[in-house]
Amino acid sequence: MDSTRMLDILDAVPAVQHTEICNDVAEKFRALPSVPGFAVLNDGLPVGVIGRDDLIIKMAAQYGHAVYAKRPVSELMDIHPLIVDVTADVDHVEQQIAEQYSHALSTGFIITQGGTYLGMGTAIALLRKSVDQSRYRNAKLEAASAQARHANTVKSQFLASMSHELRTPMNAIIGFAELISTEAYGPISPPRYLEYTNDILDSGRHLLALINDILDMSKIEAGRYTLDLVEVDVRGILKSTLKMCQPLADQKDVTLRIEQAGQDFSILGDERAMKQMMVNLVSNGVKYNKVGGEVVVSMIVDQIGGLSLTVRDTGIGIAEGDLQRVLEPFAQARSRIDNKTEGTGLGLSIVASLAELHGAEFKLESELDVGSEAKMYFPPERVTLYPASMEAGITPPRAEVISAA
């Protein structure tokens, strides 16, 4: 039923010959009151359509019967009828009627097979089949959508389970590698073993970061990510973020800078999630930057008390066609930099999802060879502004726990 053919709506209406007189055709219409039009044949081939309304109106007009009754029907027929093959599908015929053959709505259209007349089709029959076909397609889409949702849930549960299983041994590997690298129980000989240990440590930390990203994304997709909302010191999180990203920035000679808002404030949010969002954005700005580039984090409180957190970089940028794609899980922009620190492609999608859980709007803009700008806007109800009397560190108690479910 994916493609309904004309055979499904065929009505074996008898045709009339082009030489038949109008009066005889009118009698046939009276005998078949449900037929809106007859096909007109010449030597067995359709050459036109005579519509019920057209013929009756002309015959009923003053002197109409006298003028047309004895004339051949070919003089009143539509010489440009819609003729479709029995193999044509509903969608194609509907498009033809809409674009070129609107008169077929009242007279019907001719259905043939290899040029030979088979019968007539009507707009009503076409509409009924179109509705049936749409219902069938919608049912299939709904079933496919339900199946996809189930598969996505199973995938998220599997990834979450596997991530938990992997994190425990990875933490052990990282812990022992750190212990060996510090030579806590004496010097390592030969020295090359120490280099190998540092490689193990770096690789373990990188792999653990990827596992954490997958675990977080799985929780978000499964609706099981819980926010522990407290008053978050945004300035403190930004300073901590830049401190974490500074070693990578030093390697690439990238400058990190904060442009702070003049007024003190805090955000009602999950501290760990807030830090994760900022680390993802700043580290991306560094990784995809140019040597000698800059990453600037700015904080702006607008007139109604909303807060914009913006991360701008002077990096390679993202093509316009990739902007939406990079926000999807596991997707990455086509980079022109050989970057060995690239991850799973989850960073931006995690930021977008966590921002949404915080009631914030996330927006990404970019231009190739100019840079990128990622902005999170937190509405006024999430932002607490402190008057001068509260700058000593007195914070109004406001904390709650919500779930993403």
- The alpha helices in 222-293, defined as continuous H runs, are 234-251, 271-287
pLDDT bin (cut points 50, 70, 90) of residue 345 is: low
User: Is domain 226-403 given the CATH code 3.30.565.10 in the classification?
Assistant: yes
The H-or-E segment that residue 62 falls in is none
pLDDT bin (cut points 50, 70, 90) of residue 334 is: low
Q: Greater confidence, 168 or 273? A: 273
Q: Report how far residue 122's alpha carbon sits from residue 137's, in angstroms, rounded to the nearest whole number.
A: 22
Q: Which fold has domain 6-121?
A: CBS-domain (3.10.580)
Task: Please say whether the beta carbons of 361 and 339 come within 8 A.
Answer: no
pLDDT bin (cut points 50, 70, 90) of residue 50 is: very high
Q: Greater confidence, 270 or 133? A: 270
User: Which of 41-55, 165-179, 204-218, 238-252 shows the lowest mean pLDDT across its residues?
Assistant: 204-218
Q: Count Cβ atoms within 10 A of the Cβ of residue 187 and give its class: 0-12 exposed, 13-18 middle, 19 or more buried.
A: exposed
Angle between helices 271-287 and 347-357 (to 10 degrees): 150
Q: Report how far residue 357's alpha carbon sits from residue 353's, in angstroms, rounded to the nearest whole number.
A: 6
Could you read off the pLDDT of 19-35 as tens digits, one per residue?
999 999 999 999 999 99
**Domain edges within the chain:** 6-121, 141-221, 226-403
* Residue 7 token pair: 């055979």
**Residues 6+ positions from 48 with CB-CB distance below 8 Å:** 18, 39, 40, 74, 77, 78, 79, 80, 81
Q: Please name which of 139, 144, 135, 140 lies closest in space to residue 90, comparing C-alpha atoms.
A: 135
Residue 49's beta-bridge partner residues? 39, 78
Write down the mean pLDDT value for the chain.
84
Q: Please name which of 195, 213, 198 lies closest in space to residue 329, comparing C-alpha atoms.
A: 213
| CATH code for the structural domain at 141-221 | 1.10.287
Could you read off the pLDDT of 114-169 as tens digits, one per residue?
889 999 998 888 888 888 878 888 898 899 888 888 887 777 677 667 766 777 88
Handedness of CA 303, 306, 309, 312 (dihedral sign): negative
Could you read off the pLDDT of 86-114 as tens digits, one per residue?
988 888 888 899 889 988 988 999 999 98
pLDDT bin (cut points 50, 70, 90) of residue 341 is: very low
- The alpha helices in 254-337, defined as continuous H runs, are 271-287
